[in-house]
């Protein structure tokens, strides 16, 4: 499984609206993409930074989403973003929520 971690600078005063925009705008778009597993959104305590973590079955699915869906999702967040999101892609090594055990060395 792969995770895409998006760090977003939020507009002042948009913290409360961020979750609603994610749920009503971004999540329905994410669900349209093959390999999408789950999504988590968070806001830093100071309300200035939002984080979105989407989980994907494979690296290929995460890359396909980057090419064919990410721009649309980010556009759905225009009302709350002060700057474009920064993306990092990681291999998920373990997760209690997704019932993944730590990867074992070969």
* Domain that includes residue 75, residue range: 2-91
Q: pLDDT tens, 50-95? A: 999 999 999 999 999 999 999 999 999 999 999 999 999 999 998 8
| Domain-embedded: residue 99 | no
| Domain-embedded: residue 33 | yes
Q: How far apart are alpha carbons 1 and 93 in whole angstroms?
A: 8
Domain containing 43 — which CATH number?
3.30.70.100
**Mean pLDDT over all residues of the chain?**
90
Indicate whether 106 pLDDT > 50. no
Indicate whether 49 pLDDT > 50. yes
Taking residues 98-106, report their average pLDDT. Answer: 57
| Domain-embedded: residue 104 | no
| Domain-embedded: residue 103 | no
Give how far Cα 106 sits from Cα of 57, 94, 103, Å: 21, 16, 9
Taking residues 4-24, report their average pLDDT. Answer: 94
Domain count, the chain: 1
| Domain-embedded: residue 83 | yes
């Amino acid at each position: 499984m792969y995770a895409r971690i998006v760090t977003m600078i939020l507009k002042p005063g948009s913290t409360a609206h961020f979750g609603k925009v994610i749920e009503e705008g971004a999540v329905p778009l994410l669900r349209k993409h093959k390999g999408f597993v789950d999504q988590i959104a968070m806001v830093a305590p100071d309300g200035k930074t939002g984080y979105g973590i989407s989980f994907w079955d494979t690296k290929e699915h995460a890359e396909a989403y980057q090419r064919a869906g990410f721009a649309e999702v980010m556009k759905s967040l225009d009302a709350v973003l002060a700057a474009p999101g920064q993306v990092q892609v990681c291999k998920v090594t373990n997760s209690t929520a997704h019932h993944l055990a730590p990867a074992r060395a070969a």
